[in-house]
């Protein structure tokens, strides 16, 4: 697939060098350049590129704001952030804004080429360093009481939670484990009490969010 790329960076020399590398490779071709976020949004509407390589710290409109506006107006255009910034704030905010890839500017071109192909193909590209930041952010967003409550579940209770979320009835679960319906009902009540959940629907949502159910998200 030939990828049409819009370069967005406020340093002309950097854009010139990156354009030369891209145009002399098989990864795609540069169809336009922008020096700030506002110009990027305007050019994206005019040129309809497949992919925007977006710097983050620019005048007039920064890359995070530009990514948010661009992806809202043109959801079919992919954004790959390419920045000197490695702080969790920049990474998380631009991904929340709609970017589907993030690379540092000190990355070798070979990895950038892989990232372009991956993001243009509809997938997310995050190098290990950035993935680690995202995982840390995710873990920090999980309420401590939720994590502790889940840890309190016994292996049997976790399995019952999974089966309930998959739509199994008390009778079916009892048959699977070779126990009485009453035993399963008591174990289910114990799960709900530990997790502070009060309906089968809440149990199902919890199990899906935590990857315990085979039901797709």
* Of residues 152 and 81, more confidently modeled: 81
Q: What is the pLDDT of residue 191?
A: 87
Q: What is the pLDDT of residue 150?
A: 67
With contact defined as beta carbons under 8 Å apart, do 42 and 65 qualify? no
DSSP-assigned letter for residue 57 = S
Using pLDDT thresholds of 50, 70 and 90, give the confidence band for residue 138.
low
With contact defined as beta carbons under 8 Å apart, do 97 and 77 qualify? no
Distance CA(217)–CA(60), nearest Å, equals 39
How big is the chain, counted in residues? 217
* Of residues 48 and 195, more confidently modeled: 48
Ramachandran region, residue 158 (left: φ > 0; alpha: ψ -120 to 50; beta: rest): alpha
> Domain coordinates of the chain in residue numbers?
3-140, 144-209
Using pLDDT thresholds of 50, 70 and 90, give the confidence band for residue 139.
low
Give me the CATH topology for the region 3-140. Rossmann fold (3.40.50)
Distance CA(204)–CA(91), nearest Å, equals 31
Using pLDDT thresholds of 50, 70 and 90, give the confidence band for residue 144.
very low
* Of residues 76 and 150, more confidently modeled: 76
Give me the CATH topology for the region 144-209. Arc Repressor Mutant, subunit A (1.10.10)
The yes-or-no verdict on residue 66 having pLDDT over 80 is yes
pTM for this structure?
0.63
Q: What is the pLDDT of residue 215?
A: 54
């Amino acid at each position: 697939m030939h990828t049409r790329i819009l370069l967005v960076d406020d340093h002309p020399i950097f854009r010139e060098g990156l354009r030369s590398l891209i145009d002399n490779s098989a990864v795609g071709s540069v169809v336009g350049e922008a020096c700030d976020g506002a110009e990027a949004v305007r050019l994206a509407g005019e040129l309809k590129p497949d992919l925007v390589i977006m710097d983050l710290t620019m005048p007039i409109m920064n890359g995070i704001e530009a990514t948010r506006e661009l992806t809202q107006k043109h959801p079919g255009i992919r954004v790959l952030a390419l920045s000197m910034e490695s702080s969790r704030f920049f990474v998380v905010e631009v991904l929340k804004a709609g970017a589907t890839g993030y690379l540092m500017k000190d990355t070798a071109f070979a990895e950038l080429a892989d990232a372009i192909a991956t993001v243009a193909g509809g997938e997310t590209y995050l190098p290990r360093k950035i993935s680690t930041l995202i995982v840390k952010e995710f873990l920090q967003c999980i309420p401590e009481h939720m994590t502790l409550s889940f840890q309190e579940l016994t292996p049997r209770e976790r399995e019952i939670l999974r089966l309930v979320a998959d739509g199994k009835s008390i009778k079916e679960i009892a048959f699977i484990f070779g126990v009485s319906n009453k035993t399963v009902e008591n174990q289910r009540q114990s799960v709900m009490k530990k997790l502070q959940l009060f309906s089968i629907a809440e149990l199902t949502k919890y199990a899906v969010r935590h990857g315990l159910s085979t039901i797709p998200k």
